């Protein structure tokens, strides 16, 4: 809450086995629909004595772009096989790695969200040669920016609401007259309405009950599509939101707002190809007692990443924001929650999230 606080957080898993020299398919995060990777480019040219490298296989899974082919092995070297993309060290959100070619570099990964992933290095034993061709463009994290809100949801109205739908936790918090949230039994989506004179939050995502750092959950990704109407009072924030415990930290990744993004800072970081302003403040109120460790009293820390250019659809690598804050020396405790969130300081309005999903690569 920009002024006050909120609830508290469970998880999927994805792993891929990469056998070196073999082009195994990638995989998508648990709980997500596997998308099709982009197609591979042609293999690089052959050298006088080496064999031509085979094209890198297109990566499977929601994050894979096509893998570029490696160049041919040089002189007497033999070329390596294509290396597929996978949701892991190469980036759960980046394009596929390039095909390996001799000891040369792999091709660049397929673009995702407009940002190209780096190619995996070639693995042969020959001398260095030309880089493999770039992979073809993948989808924007499989986020369909034209998605429409599903039907058949259940609406809850009140001032303090918490529950679970389709594997995700949802809730409302307000210190005013309340509002409503609609969630769906078979879709990671929600909508909310408010007619409020005070702070109102509605959110859907993952709650975590273990005392683990964010690093224990691997790559944490949030995907959203939003359509807003009406007004939002004195301030608003649309994006990703949550808490940590010990220390008590309320954090925001501000992607959009009704009238001007909330939160600034002189420190910046480039995440998911965009510039974010980073800031840390302290606040007081009732939120910390509600959302942090039992018996919490006094103030708590608020951390913001505010996107320089607002957007209404996209993929947010939440764990990269956590890492950027940690680099500033800002302490984060045990991860408590990661939610797609709307917060408004009053007004009368509504918002739809046809896509509102949070995933992790480890549990």
Tens of pLDDT, residues 73-103:
333 333 333 333 333 333 333 333 333 333 3
Beta bridge partners of 163: 170
Beta bridge partners of 306: 254, 277
Active site residues: 250, 343
Q: How far is CA 47 from CA 44, 50, 57, 280, 363, in A?
A: 9, 5, 21, 56, 46
pLDDT tier for residue 38 given thresholds of 50, 70 and 90? very low
d(CA 220, CA 171): 20
What is the reported pLDDT for 286? Answer: 59
pLDDT tier for residue 43 given thresholds of 50, 70 and 90? very low
Please, is 133 exposed, middle or buried when counting C-beta atoms within 10 Å of its C-beta (0-12, 13-18, 19+)? buried
pLDDT tier for residue 63 given thresholds of 50, 70 and 90? very low
What is the reported pLDDT for 289? Answer: 56
Considering the segment(s) 154-360 as one domain, its CATH architecture is Sandwich (2.60)
Sequence-separated (6 or more) residues with CB below 8 Å from residue 320: 271, 272
What is the reported pLDDT for 141? Answer: 57
Are the beta carbons of 321 and 209 closer than 8 angstroms? no
Residue 40 or residue 203, greater confidence: 203
Phi then psi dihedrals of residue 290, to 5 deg: -80, -35
What is the reported pLDDT for 258? Answer: 94
What is the reported pLDDT for 42? Answer: 34
- Helices then strands, counting H and E runs in the chain, come out as 2, 16
pLDDT in tens, 105-149: 333 333 333 333 333 333 333 333 343 333 333 334 579 999 999
pLDDT in tens, 228-237: 999 999 899 9
What is the reported pLDDT for 320? Answer: 98
Q: Where are the domains of the chain?
A: 34-141, 154-360
d(CA 144, CA 355): 8
Handedness of CA 304, 357, 166, 335 (dihedral sign): negative
Query: pTM of the predicted model, to two decimals?
Result: 0.64
């Amino acid at each position: 809450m920009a002024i006050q606080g909120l609830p508290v957080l469970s998880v999927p898993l994805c792993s891929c086995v990469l056998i070196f020299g073999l082009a195994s398919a990638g995989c998508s995060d648990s709980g997500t629909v596997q998308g099709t990777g982009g197609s591979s480019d042609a293999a690089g040219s052959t050298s006088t004595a080496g064999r031509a490298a085979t094209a890198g296989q297109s990566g499977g899974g929601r994050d894979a772009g096509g893998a570029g082919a490696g160049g041919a092995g040089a002189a007497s070297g033999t070329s390596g096989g294509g290396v597929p993309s996978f949701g892991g060290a190469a980036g759960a959100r980046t394009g596929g790695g390039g095909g390996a070619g001799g000891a040369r570099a792999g091709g660049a990964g397929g673009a995702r969200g407009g940002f190209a992933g780096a190619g995996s290095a070639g693995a042969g034993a020959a001398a260095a040669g030309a880089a493999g061709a770039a992979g073809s463009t993948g989808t924007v994290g499989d986020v369909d920016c034209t998605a429409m809100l599903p039907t058949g949801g259940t609406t809850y109205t009140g001032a303090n609401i918490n529950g679970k739908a389709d594997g995700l936790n949802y809730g409302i918090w307000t210190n005013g007259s309340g509002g409503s949230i609609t969630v769906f039994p078979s879709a990671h989506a929600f909508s909310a309405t408010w007619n409020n004179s005070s702070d109102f939050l509605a959110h859907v995502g993952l709650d975590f009950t273990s005392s683990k750092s964010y690093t224990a959950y691997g790559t944490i990704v949030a995907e959203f599509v939003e359509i807003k109407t009406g007004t939002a009072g004195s301030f608003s924030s649309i994006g990703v939101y949550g808490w940590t415990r010990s220390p008590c930290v309320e954090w925001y990744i501000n992607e959009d707002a009704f009238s001007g993004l909330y939160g600034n800072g002189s420190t910046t970081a480039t995440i998911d190809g965009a510039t974010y302003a980073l800031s840390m403040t302290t606040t007081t109120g009732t939120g910390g007692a509600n959302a942090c460790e039992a018996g919490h009293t006094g103030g708590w820390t608020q951390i913001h990443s505010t996107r320089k250019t607002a957007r209404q659809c996209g993929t947010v690598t939440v764990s990269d924001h956590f890492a950027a804050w940690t680099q500033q020396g800002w302490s984060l405790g045990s991860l408590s929650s990661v939610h797609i969130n709307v917060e408004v300081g009053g007004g009368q309005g509504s918002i739809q999230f046809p896509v509102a999903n949070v995933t992790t690569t480890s549990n």
